[in-house]
Structure formats: structure tokens, C-alpha cells
Amino acid sequence: MSQYRKRYYITTPIYYVNGTPHIGTATTTLLADATARYRKLRGDNTLFLTGTDENARKVLEAAEKAGKDPHAFVDEVSQRFVDTWRFMGIEQDVFFRTTESRHARAVQEVFRRLQESGDVYLGTYEGWYSVNDETFFRDTDVDPVTRTAKETGAKVERVTEESYFFRLSRYGDALKAHILSNPDFLIPDTRRNEVLSFIDQGLRDIAITQNRVGWGIPVPGETGKVIYVWFDALINYLTATGWPDEGWENIWPADAHLMAKEIFTRFHATLWPAMLMALNLPLPRHVVGHGWWVVGGEKGSKSKGNIPSCEEVVAYLQEQSGATQEICVDALRYYLIRDIRFTDDAEYSREMLVTRFNADLANDLGNVLNRVLRAKYFEGVIPTPRALDPELSAFAASAVSGYESALERFDWGSALQSVWTLVSAVNKYLDEKAPWALAKNGDAAGVADVVYNALEGTRLAAYLNSPVMPYAAGQIASQLGLAEIAGFDSWETASKFGALPSGLTIGEPTPLFPRIDTKKAFPVAQVSVKTIEKETRKMSAETKTDTAQTPESSLISIDDFARIEFRVADIVSAERIEGAKKLLLLEVKVGEEERQIVSGIADAYAPEDLVGKQIVVVANLQPATIRGVSSQGMLLAATDAEGRAVLLHPDKAVASGSKVR
């Protein structure tokens, strides 16, 4: 028998069934799916859990509003989540529902054990409660005039009732000590700091029962009380391991809980670990919270009608591109996983979705493959090179290292940026080596070197991308003559440059990502670059005129200058913006924060030459939308004698995010 090895256990939140799934709920699930697929590539026996939270009062109210029996209602909505996850290629191992009998047994056992230890006691709750958030709020958390929660804006009601309490206050010091001694317990650091601040305000005991019958898990030995939905829901992660029966230690503790930020601090990073401490059970290794998708500055939600379903977005991509449904599903997976942010929120837009489709997938990944395969060098058989290209090998090693490092913190955006440095390097390699010219000159050995190295770079990029775009990666594997993209004996083998076997017969070279015609996709007239430049020159001329008349008007005070926040940023990726000759989209890191900046420097810098550079940015500039793309800052550049941009940068490396004084 092989040596015992605990399963790698990853979870999403279980989603309320008072509404249907959309791209927001899909994002967390996709992050977990990609992570589970990555861990499988690494050789882990992975368990991936998602599901639905069905015992909430607001679910009961939603069923009543729909005129349906609550059991039939939750069955119907829960199935929509199952169907959407299947549609999106999500492969969970467990789809958990809190109305399952095994869960009621586990929740009641937790309640009994904590009651016996004195961590659950009977008292009277008087305070505020939000049905929409299913959250108790203290007086300082509520606006007494509007009767809304300051944190979420949800309506609250005043409640006075007999309730059982969990002695959360007992665990503040122990929880804080655990967080401080385990820096990667809470990810990212910004949310870790929020939790520490929340604990420092003083943890209060929390009511964990409510007075009602007929929907929810009954308090053991009581009538007329059900267990509070959040106390109930969090236990699902434990129930799924088989606890309290034998074998649960083979799975628990969870390796990672993934979620959006609104349920991070109060519940997953405070209440849940305190409950586990009270049960003398190990805490999860990582609790990870990402930001929201915002639309027009507001959080995207189905109730507001401002965020689409996955099916709607995929249908739009199909209509605009003519690609298959599977490819469009992968394109949406790529966009949501790449662009969601962990330290702040991300703006969802069709324009950025199309930019990712055209620039990253059609221009970069798809193009690098077809540039070689269409030529059918060596009669469609992958040649044997004289040697691996050392520069491309170095790019590949760096990409893999950056990818692995980013995923230690579940940072898929940075991981994919590392992959795209390799994709860009392969495209640049093809431009420089020009195998078509070598073939024309009869240099067969040179062509073999270039063809093999370019295809191997593409193979490796597809392999690293396979957790995010499994179908597209499989199609690339087929075109390379591989049975499957992950068909190697280990991660160490597959992630090393040079693993592509020579002698394979390539498949039919077919473009996977047909480019989207942006003029048809966005028929409403947009401001062109020329118009922007014209208006900029006009404003500049007006400024010069005004300055000539009143020189002092161009001066600012030291206080005005102090308001401008200059910081050092690292460029992690750069790409051209579709239809804009002078504009580049830069992904930068300012300390822990990721941003994107649109800049008109494409005539002076090639995208691949910018990656890794340090620049100076205005970090507190109000975001602007340029050519449908959000720009979250401005870089500093001078102008040379020919009118081209010259970037300003530190004369030696400094920490990203450093303030420029």
C-alpha cells in the first residue's frame, strides 16, 4: 500500500438559493476549479467542494414570493447552479446541499458538543438583524435614520428574542495569535489586516439560533428554535469530510476556502476558525478572499439586474466570433479568472472581454500556433532540433517559476501574466528567427530548430493554461499531435521546456479563436485615438494661451502637489489594444495591488520589451475609460526629439509601491 497522503481539499462558499447564478458567483467557483485542476497536475489527490446554502430565512421568503413550496423551490434553484457549473466546464467532486440529512446530524452534533463545553449558552438577543445579509449587526454598524447596515446598505430590523449564543469573545486572543504566527492563513494581506482590525475592536458573543419552525435545522432538544444559517452553513465544510464518523481526518483540514470579500471577515476568517478552535479541530490552511465585479461603479448583482449570467456572455461571444460554444466558455473562464482582483474590485465590461479574446487568445496564443502549423514544415511532422534555444528556455523557466510562485497565493491573474510572457517570447522568437526565410534559403536544420522550439513554447503555454482553459488546451494538444495536453508522467516533466516529443504528426491546423470585429461588436460610435489626440492638443493650446496671459495660473501650491501620489510600479504584462496603433494596455503591480493602465507609448516600446521594467505612476488618479478599457492610473514619461515617449524609471531597483518623494 502506498504511503498515506491527505487529500488536497478546496472549497467555494455554498451559494444562497434565493437567486440564480451569474458571472460573480461563477468567478469564485472557477478560481476553485482552476486551482483543483492545477493541484491534480501537481499530483495531488484533490477534493473540490461547492454547493448551495438552503436553510436561510431569505430563501424561505423567496420561495413564498415565488408561490412555491420551499423544498421544490430550493431543488429547482440548486439544480440551476449544477447546470451552470456543468455548462462552464467546472468539475466539482462534491455538490453540497445544506438540506441533506447528514448535514443536519453534523450541525446538531457541533451544537451539542459546544453546549457541553460551555461555549454555547442561553441568553437574550436584542439588536439589529438583516434578512438580506443573514447577519446580526451591533448598534455602531447601523444607520439609525435609514435603518440600514453601514457595511452593506441592506435593510435591518430590531429583534428581541431568547437565543442561544456562541462564546466568540473567548477566542479573540487565540485567533489573533494564530493569524500573526501564520502569515499565509488569510490571503491577501489587505484582508488579513481587516480581520486583525475587526478582532481588535473586540469580538462579541454571537446569537446562533432564531425563533421559528418549519425551515432550518432544529436546535437539538428544543421546539420553536432553528440554528442560525451562518453557524449551520459553515459546518458544511466539515460535514463533507464525513465528520464526526471515521475517516474525516483523511480530508480535514481544508487546504483552501475561496470566497468573495463580503463573507470573509465576519464569517470565514473570524466565526468559523473560532468554532473550530472550540471543537479542538485544526484550522484551514488558507482562507482566500477576492474582490467584486463592479459594473458602472456598483457591485454586480442579479437583484440590480446589472450583471449577466454565464450563458448570456457565452452566447454573445459565439454570436460575435463564430467560435464554438466550448471555446467561448473557455474564453469567459480566462477573462473572469485573469481579471478578477484580490486587493480591490474589478470593472466588468464587454469591451475588456472582447479585448482579452482578440489580443490574448486570437492574436497571441492562437496566432503563435497557427504561424507554424499552417506552413506544414517537414510534412507535418514535428522535427528534432539540434538544441533547445537558450533564451526561450530561460523565458520558459521564468514563466513556470512565476506561475508556481503566484499560485502559492492563489493569484491566478499573476500566474497567467507569467504564462503570457512566454507566449509573447515565442511570438518574438518567430519574428526574429523567421523560419519562412530559413526555409526559402534551404536551411533545413535552422528551420527544424525554430519550428520545434516555437511549438514547444506553445505546448508549455497551453499546459500551464490548461487549468483555466481545459477545452482549448486539449485542442492545442490535438493540433500538436498529443493525445492530451497533460499526458506526461509528472509536473516536473511536463513543466520543463523540451518535453514535446519529436516525430509526432500534427493535427489539422485550425484557428481556435476567430477574431471579433469590434466595429460590429460595438456599433455605437466610440471616441477614436485621433479624436483624443486632437482634443488633447486643443486643451494644450488653450493652456498655453492662458499661461501666456497669466503666468501665475500654471503654478500650484505645495499642498496641491502633496495630493499627487507618485509610486514605483512593476510592469508584469503589456499588450496592444485592438484598433489603437499608439495605445498599450499595461498590467502593473503597485506593492500588493494590481492595476491596469492604458498609455499611448506603442510607437516607442514593443509590449514584450516592457515586461519586468519599473516605472513611476500617478497612483491616486481618478480612473478613466479609454477605448472601452478602464485605465487606473498614469505613468510618467518624457518626450524625445522625435516626439516619442521615454519612460521615467528608478536608476536602481526599489520595492514595488515605494513612494516617490
Lowest-confidence region among 203-217, 319-333, 515-529: 515-529
Round the average pLDDT of the chain to a whole number and report it: 86
pLDDT category of residue 237 using cuts at 50, 70 and 90: very high
Distance of CA 302 to the CA centre of its chain: 19
CATH fold label, 314-494: Isoleucyl-tRNA Synthetase; Domain 1 (1.10.730)
DSSP helix/strand/coil, 25: helix
CB atoms within 10 A of CB 309: 18
Between these two residues, 616 and 258, which has the higher pLDDT value?
Answer: 258
15-36: average pLDDT: 93
Place of cell 497612483: 619
Q: Would you tell me which CATH number, out of the four given (1.20.1370.20, 3.30.930.10, 3.40.50.920, 2.40.50.140), belongs to the domain 556-647?
A: 2.40.50.140
pLDDT band of residue 398 (cuts 50, 70, 90) is very high
Give the mean pLDDT of 574-581: 69
Q: Calculate mean pLDDT across residues 524-533.
A: 39
Q: Which of the pair, 317 or 544, is modelled with greater confidence?
A: 317
Per-residue pLDDT, 567: 80
pTM: 0.79
Residue 137 carries which DSSP code? E
The 10s digit of each residue's pLDDT in 158-168 is 888 899 999 99
Q: Could you give the angle at which helices 444-465 and 390-407 cross, rounded to 10 degrees?
A: 0
Task: Grade residue 624 by pLDDT with cuts at 50, 70 and 90.
Answer: low
User: What would the pLDDT profile of 39-72 be if each residue is shown by its tens digit?
Assistant: 999 999 999 999 999 988 888 888 888 899 989 9
H-run or E-run covering 548: helix 529-549
Choose among 42, 41, 46: nearest CA to 91.
Answer: 46
d(CA 78, CA 550): 68
Report whether pLDDT(560) > 70.
Answer: no
Which pLDDT band, with edges at 50, 70 and 90, does 554 fall under?
A: very low
Q: Which amino acid is at 537?
A: R
Per-residue model confidence (pLDDT) at position 44 = 96
Strands (E), 118-156: 120-130, 135-137, 142-143, 148-149
User: Comparing 530-534, 586-590, 606-610, which segment has the lowest mean pLDDT?
Assistant: 530-534
pLDDT per position as a tens digit, 463-495: 999 999 999 999 999 999 999 999 899 999 999
pLDDT at 626 over 70: no
pLDDT in tens, 83-97: 999 999 999 999 999
At residue 545 the predicted structure's pLDDT band, cuts being 50, 70 and 90, is very low
Nearest to 430 by CA among 373, 494, 507: 373
How many C-beta neighbours within 10 Å does residue 227 have?
25
List, in sequence order, the alpha helices (H) in 468-622. Answer: 470-479, 491-494, 518-521, 529-549, 558-562, 607-610
Domain limits, the chain:
314-494, 556-647
